[in-house]
Amino acid sequence: MPENSLRAFSLAIERGMGIECDIQRSSDGQAMVFHDWELDRLTVEHGPLAARNAAALAGIALTGGGGDCIPTLHAMLGLVSGRTPILIEIKSKRGYNVAASCLAVRHMLEGYRGPHAVMSFDPRVGQWFARHSPRTLRGLVMTEEDDRGLTGRARRHLWLWTAKPDFLAYDVRDLPSRFAASQRARGLPLLTWTVRSPELRARAAEHADAPIAEGAGVS
């Protein structure tokens, strides 16, 4: 199934699985369920997603067939309707106004009663939700990217202090990790991504509390 498609979410619900989705922001400030900054890899169109409004994006077909188009977060929440937990990853990058994306997501979550949490690589997301939506569970997504030296450890501690997350989502390629293990030992739940094989699933089972999985990593 195309990733981040309503069809994929429907099948996840049928199998009794939770859902992880990604959020980008349209030109008119709407939360769109889409992973990449550019349309090229996942759709029949080209160029930056942020250059188009929500109505235009909702009409763009995802590659993979089946008639799936880019969903809004509103449409996705309506489909799920509390039937399974949702992890909402808010995308960010240097110089990006991530607060606007946080606001768009919070607006869509108003009145939603199903189990859900937000997460991001950007510690400002956790900080924003702690201030403006403190009852929303929030996670910090982390990767060490071979940066296990003193600078990397200091950076991870700074991000942790800034985000004050309720859980971590850690790169499975970095496990086992002294930093991740220490946070888990003090009671911070540890998810791990992206589990794509039985071998990585075994690693996740040994070193984390739950996998974010796809493909052959799904049991």
> Domains of the chain, with CATH numbers?
1-120 (3.20.20.190), 132-219 (3.20.20.190)
**In this predicted structure, what is the pLDDT of residue 219?**
77
List strands edge to edge, sheet with 190-195. Answer: 31-33, 19-25, 86-90, 116-120, 137-142, 167-171, 190-195, 210-213
What's the pTM value of the predicted model, to 2 decimals? Answer: 0.95
**Rounded-to-integer distance, Cα 3 and Cα 9, Å:** 9
Extract long-range pairs of 204-209: CB within 8 Å, 24+ residues apart.
204/172, 204/175, 206/176, 207/175, 207/176, 207/177, 207/180, 207/181, 208/170, 208/172, 208/175, 208/180, 208/184, 209/184
Paired residues of 168 in beta bridges: 140, 190
**In this predicted structure, what is the pLDDT of residue 22?**
98
**In this predicted structure, what is the pLDDT of residue 148?**
77
Cα torsion through 73, 82, 61, 121, rounded to 10 = 50
**Rounded-to-integer distance, Cα 6 and Cα 58, Å:** 12
Structure tokens at 11: 């099948």
**In this predicted structure, what is the pLDDT of residue 147?**
79
Q: Which helix (H) or strand (E) holds 103?
A: helix 98-109
**In this predicted structure, what is the pLDDT of residue 135?**
95
pLDDT truncated to tens, each residue of the chain (219 aa)?
899 999 999 999 999 999 999 999 999 999 999 999 999 999 999 999 999 999 999 999 999 878 999 999 999 999 999 999 999 999 999 999 999 999 999 999 999 999 999 999 999 999 999 999 999 999 999 999 877 788 899 999 999 999 999 999 999 999 999 999 999 999 999 999 999 999 999 999 999 999 999 999 987
Give the single-character DSSP code of 216.
Answer: G
Cα of 193 vs its chain's centroid, Å: 10
